[in-house]
Structure 1
């Protein structure tokens, strides 16, 4: 008990410092029921801002993050861990999203600091970010000082989530951070964890650091689900450092009785007039964790958020040649939508850009008039991008071929027969960026048993040769005494006499 009391006392002191200082901290949880698929999406958002003008004092802003930003001259940083694919046709507008695996994008004053930044973040988040080297990283075309890299094979687990939670002012002891249970979070159909940092100048000319941490989960629930069953929690407390701790429920009705937890403040969504945000402070729902969160009146159908869908897939067969196909479809009945598409390909897939075929709205077009291609140079990834206007009820189709490189044995992962992961592609439409599925490409693999066979054969030959040589050098004919010699001679004479008698 004394430990929890000390924690609350320390938080109170920190809260007093925040109120009097230049830092601010807010936290928010957005809950989106998806009754038609028996799921619920929960989006945690924690935002912390602090001034950096000539100050070396740290109050609630993470010291480790601030030191990394200042040491490597980072103006902006976006780090996401994503497991799964956001099904926008079923789940609506994106709450938190990223390409499958790990994605890191950073704007640096000196791009040569990228290696140091990735190594520092790798130790901070306990991830293999040091693998983001020249073979996976490329600069953005619009901003050469902004580098972007992806690791589609990196998985999100508790060793990444735990240091992420420790960056929160109250960690998992109080506030909405106390509602994050690693076991419940990892048991989700979709999981995305993000860290966004910006070193910016506000309207008054003061430089400030802004840290925004987000966590998005989509979990299966029963019809009478509660907050306790959704997040696997039993208690709740308010973080004293936070200026506001809000729980927002997205519904398609303005009726406040849809929430059984109690009264709420109603807002209309800025992106969709049919969505109503029912906002409640955290301290008012601490006793409602075990009560059903919604009534049957709140189970309205989800409107369609985006009208452009994308799908990328592998073509061909075998371990020598292959190809990739793409389909972008506009399902809107009347509107033409502009779509920007981008993908990066690893250097070991030798793309034949002369084989690119693309059709827009049912008509084949010259790829040279549409595509922007950045070839691979010195093991850097390829880049392919285009921007087109897709007519209503139409689609864009693209396909091309590639050869699979023969890699040295040392460049293969331990489970080389699984294949190599190709990062997800992205498309931007209606002001939102969405991602395709990652691809798994099998490459020609050497006979990994051959070194073992050579070692076994060589060891056997050497052992046998060594044994023969030692035997020849150390083995001598056994010496006999005179009595034994005499007995041998007598035996020989007797055998001759016996044979002669038999002949006669």
Structure 2
């Protein structure tokens, strides 16, 4: 028996080693399918601002529906992968923005985002309880990114039908079923370094190497506009889409204003913008490029770009020719930092800006604290073509919309929407949603207006700073442009900037999503100083009552002669009489004291004489 046992031990050891090698090879096969790219895009804007966009793209060649694939990680962040796998997430889009992007002055951004926090998620078809998964997902993301996403509940959550279709690969039946979609915003969310720190920890190199070393909180949060975003979606590995993959796109957009700091000059450098230069690429990145837009370089005010770029890229996209200077960090072998800078010979000249084809503007109408209205202006600057847009309006339950007051006018004429979906809200349980498809005439300004009533909230439902007001999230306009002059977003098939900037396809349609300003509205606010007033009044009443009772119980009462006069004259004479008596008494007391002092020495002398005579008599008797 011992010989059999000794022979079985090597067999077991061989089996264990073979299984370990097989699992390690399997893990390596899963891990080796990751791909990471880091890119920085810098563009001087016509308004004098400098637009900087950081793009980090991680591609993982696995099926997002394969739960076993989310057990082995290499470049893909494990903390986010576990959340996606647990809550059956197919697509996730999260943005945290401070400030408002102004498309009429800055053009279109690479990644659009509204002020505050925005989260929209597509769940898998086999998700058993979407409501419960959504509730647990927002709490998990709130802890992961140190944001107030846990305040997202049913009162701010909607499921739009057309405005937020899937960005990744999906079937038509799945994309048209909005029951798998959840959308919510928090317009009051503030963005700070506590959000930047967990966001950059999802990067393979964190902020220790590569382009992410430019992340300086002091510089980033001193900008006019700042936006963090995460977009996860399933994509195709190849053009034939034979195998799926998972794409994680992390982007950060920052807008600086150099003319304010540089004495009306638009000069900039990496040190002035971010406080440091670039030392080299991230070792795990397959692409590490810096792009500088030099399209607007004019002969009247030429620009000087230093150091010389590795190459100049000339592309033609959307009816416009663009020029980009390319710096490849993979080929940067200098011991010094890469310090890209641009200088102009003259001061910046503010001129009329060519406005984009579509932009919007929204504001509050009415007065008082009972009724009001919301008006949105949609500008179509295309002089020839009609433009079809999808308009989405989300209003909290305490702003009670009246659908019968909806008006759409253009050129002083009423327009009928092509499609409308209106879901009324319910007090303390559901928000109002208005989604429409409209066709905007050429060179027009279309006005969309609707009236509302303000609700009365309970005093416990007001925030601590109730007098500031309540915020209404941005309106969303989605459309497909036919011209791409101001369009810099990457193509739908790839979130990386390199394919769309270096070798763009023959793209004829450009999808864009625009966000309006958030609105600040005042509701009937109670007087929160009333508790203080009540406390003061109650304490005053108690003090007065206690004082009266104390006087009644401790004061000595004396009978009064009814024949005595009690008028004002009598009281004054009595008062003066008491004063005179007291002064006379004081004078008599003083005189008596003086007399006593004068009599005391006489008495003392008489006593001494009597004592001497008595002593003499005693002495004579003895003799």
Output the CA distance in 1 between the equivalents of 2:84 and 2:30. Answer: 24
Q: 2:155 aligns with which of 123, 135, 150?
A: 135
Output the CA distance in 1 between the equivalents of 2:394 and 2:268. Answer: 42
Change (3 A) 1:247 1:296: farther
More displaced 10-residue stretch of structure 1: 197-206 or 399-408 = 197-206
Which one has a bigger Cα radius of gyration? 2
Q: 1:196 aligns with which of 228, 231, 234?
A: 231
Q: How does 1:344-383 map to 2 (within 5 A)?
A: 344-365=394-415, 371-377=420-426, 379-383=429-433
Identify the residue that residue 323 of structure 1 maps to in structure 2.
373
Output the CA distance in 2 between the equivalents of 1:151 and 1:69. Answer: 22
TM-superposed deviation, 1:476: 12
The answer as to whether partners of 1:96 and 1:192 remain within 8 angstroms in 2 is no
Identify the residue that residue 516 of structure 2 maps to in structure 1.
436
Output the CA distance in 2 between the equivalents of 1:19 and 1:38. Answer: 47
More displaced 10-residue stretch of structure 1: 245-254 or 124-133 = 245-254
Output the CA distance in 2 between the equivalents of 1:229 and 1:190. Answer: 17
Identify the residue that residue 14 of structure 1 maps to in structure 2.
none
The answer as to whether partners of 1:189 and 1:219 remain within 8 angstroms in 2 is yes
TM-superposed deviation, 1:268: 1.1
Q: 1:268 aligns with which of 315, 318, 325?
A: 315
Identify the residue that residue 59 of structure 2 maps to in structure 1.
49
Output the CA distance in 1 between the equivalents of 2:372 and 2:58. Answer: 47
The answer as to whether partners of 1:361 and 1:390 remain within 8 angstroms in 2 is no
Q: Secondary structure at the match of 2:435?
A: strand
Output the CA distance in 2 between the equivalents of 1:94 and 1:83. Answer: 15
Q: Secondary structure at the match of 1:67?
A: helix
Q: 1:71 aligns with which of 59, 77, 86?
A: 86
Change (3 A) 1:125 1:193: same
Q: 1:153 aligns with which of 158, 170, 188?
A: 188
Identify the residue that residue 38 of structure 1 maps to in structure 2.
48
2:260 is the alignment partner of 1:218: no
Q: Secondary structure at the match of 1:49?
A: strand
2:359 is the alignment partner of 1:279: no
2:441 is the alignment partner of 1:421: no
Identify the residue that residue 108 of structure 1 maps to in structure 2.
123
Change (3 A) 1:58 1:471: farther
The answer as to whether partners of 2:411 and 2:445 remain within 8 angstroms in 1 is yes
TM-superposed deviation, 1:289: 4.1
Identify the residue that residue 118 of structure 1 maps to in structure 2.
138
TM-superposed deviation, 1:89: 2.8
Output the CA distance in 1 between the equivalents of 2:388 and 2:402. Answer: 27
Identify the residue that residue 537 of structure 2 maps to in structure 1.
457
Q: Which runs of 5+ in 2 are unaligned?
A: 1-27, 163-177, 259-264, 482-510, 557-623
More displaced 10-residue stretch of structure 1: 69-78 or 460-469 = 460-469
More displaced 10-residue stretch of structure 1: 451-460 or 88-97 = 451-460
Q: Secondary structure at the match of 1:293?
A: strand
TM-superposed deviation, 1:468: 7.9
The answer as to whether partners of 1:362 and 1:395 remain within 8 angstroms in 2 is no
Q: Secondary structure at the match of 1:163?
A: helix
The answer as to whether partners of 2:92 and 2:120 remain within 8 angstroms in 1 is yes
The answer as to whether partners of 2:40 and 2:54 remain within 8 angstroms in 1 is yes
Q: Secondary structure at the match of 2:464?
A: coil
Q: Secondary structure at the match of 2:110?
A: coil
Output the CA distance in 2 between the equivalents of 1:18 and 1:293. Answer: 45
- Give aligned pairs, total: 457
TM-superposed deviation, 1:225: 1.8
The answer as to whether partners of 2:373 and 2:451 remain within 8 angstroms in 1 is yes
The answer as to whether partners of 1:358 and 1:397 remain within 8 angstroms in 2 is yes
The answer as to whether partners of 1:99 and 1:435 remain within 8 angstroms in 2 is yes
Output the CA distance in 2 between the equivalents of 1:241 and 1:360. Answer: 54
Identify the residue that residue 619 of structure 2 maps to in structure 1.
none
The answer as to whether partners of 1:359 and 1:365 remain within 8 angstroms in 2 is yes
Output the CA distance in 2 between the equivalents of 1:153 and 1:118. Answer: 17
TM-score, normalised by the number of residues in structure 2: 0.67
TM-superposed deviation, 1:305: 7.0
Change (3 A) 1:177 1:291: closer
TM-score, normalised by the number of residues in structure 1: 0.82
TM-superposed deviation, 1:19: 11
Output the CA distance in 2 between the equivalents of 1:348 and 1:76. Answer: 31
Identify the residue that residue 209 of structure 1 maps to in structure 2.
246
Change (3 A) 1:166 1:271: farther
| Aligned Cα root-mean-square deviation (Å) | 3.2
Change (3 A) 1:291 1:193: closer
More displaced 10-residue stretch of structure 1: 210-219 or 263-272 = 263-272
Identify the residue that residue 559 of structure 2 maps to in structure 1.
none
Output the CA distance in 2 between the equivalents of 1:341 and 1:195. Answer: 24
- Could you report, residue by residue, the CA deviation over 1:87-133 in whole angstroms, capped at 9, with x for unpaired residues? 22332232222111110001123422111111111111111001111
More displaced 10-residue stretch of structure 1: 199-208 or 141-150 = 199-208
Change (3 A) 1:303 1:420: closer
Q: 2:384 aligns with which of 334, 347, 350?
A: 334
